[in-house]
Amino acid sequence: MRLIVTKISVGLWAAAYIKNTVKQFAPALDKPFVLGLPTGSTVLDMYAILRTFAKERLLNFQHVITFNMDEYVGLPAGHPQSYHSYMRRNLFDHVNLLPEHIFMPNGQAQDLIQECTRYEEAMVQAGGIDLFIGGIGRNGHIAFNEPGTPFNSRTHVADLTPSTREANARFFQNDLTRVPRQAITVGIGTILDAKELLFIASGVTKAAAIAHLITQPVTPTWPLTALKLHPRATLLADLEACVLLSGDLKTQLDEAMEADPHAEQWVLSVEDKEPL
């Protein structure tokens, strides 16, 4: 996999990448582009720029199908902190995505297991995910796949760890009792099935997770290390998220920055390690 360290905002980088990838794909009625989408604060800028692209007709969502990564269990879709609300606020209400092209797990389904199966089937029916965008949890989770989740997992109901609930309490008036305990999430196997992955990390709170991605062998203890198993995976990070880099990658970054200090980004290659 590659690590792209960018000096420009990760949001701008990611939005431009999505725009270019979708344009190059040239989606059509019989050939829709299937985009996997995350939530979280890291990608707020990315959505703001995607809205601008759509407004300025630089990006057309007409033949784009979206699948979100996850949704809390038990929160009504209209709750301001549900991922349904987040997505409406930040993207869906502002671009020309067709309602029938928007897929999100229903965290209020009567039968959650059946809902997970339905979600997996819908992705297959859409032809699979062309590009899955993701964020990174502080403990290295991807979507809501917490440490220990098997790499072959499919869409499932996940118990959120105390650290994830604490990290997300800021969205629930810092009241931990309001933070849902479970979520429906695509599995790590579901993510790895996508044709391409672009995961994004910004800020020092993600530095430990990024350092582990680089130094650890592929291990379920650090779910984001699964990215190293994918043939077309990119981790996009800002300089703050890279402050704990060490060893070979730190040397690679220092050398790249020294060679081209005015570059907007430096592309590093992360050596895959044998799974534990």
Q: Which of residues 24-43 bind ligand GLP (CB under 6 A)?
A: 38-42
Per-residue 3-state assignment (H helix, E strand, C coil) for 2-13: EEEEECCCHHHH
Using CB under 6 A as the binding rule, whether residue 62 contacts ligand GLP is answered as: no
Q: Minimal distance in Å, beta carbon 72 to ligand GLP?
A: 9
Q: Minimal distance in Å, beta carbon 274 to ligand GLP?
A: 26
Q: Are strands 64-68 and 33-37 parallel, antiparallel or unpaired?
A: parallel
Among 112, 97, 167, 182, CA closest to 137: 167
Tokens of 156: 């499932």
Output the CA angle 15-16-21, nearest 5 degrees.
100
The conformation of residue 202, written as its DSSP 8-state character, comes to: -
Using CB under 6 A as the binding rule, whether residue 70 contacts ligand GLP is answered as: yes
Using CB under 6 A as the binding rule, whether residue 234 contacts ligand GLP is answered as: no
Q: Which of residues 78-137 bind ligand GLP (CB under 6 A)?
A: 135-137
Using CB under 6 A as the binding rule, whether residue 164 contacts ligand GLP is answered as: yes
Q: Which of residues 143-162 bind ligand GLP (CB under 6 A)?
A: 143-144
- Residue closer to ligand GLP by CB (options 1, 179) is 179
The conformation of residue 275, written as its DSSP 8-state character, comes to: -
- Residue closer to ligand GLP by CB (options 39, 108) is 39
Per-residue 3-state assignment (H helix, E strand, C coil) for 153-191: CCCEEEECCHHHHHHHHHHCCCCHHHCCCEEEECCHHHH
Give the total of residues touching ligand GLP (CB under 6 A): 14
Q: Minimal distance in Å, beta carbon 49 to ligand GLP?
A: 16
- Residue closer to ligand GLP by CB (options 17, 252) is 17
Using CB under 6 A as the binding rule, whether residue 72 contacts ligand GLP is answered as: no
Residue 50: in which H helix or E strand, if any?
A: helix 44-55
Residue 64: in which H helix or E strand, if any?
A: strand 64-68
Burial class of residue 121, CB neighbours in 10 A (0-12, 13-18, 19+): exposed
Q: Minimal distance in Å, beta carbon 223 to ligand GLP?
A: 11
Q: Minimal distance in Å, beta carbon 42 to ligand GLP?
A: 3
Q: Which residues bind ligand GLP (CB under 6 A)?
A: 38-42, 69-70, 135-137, 143-144, 164, 168
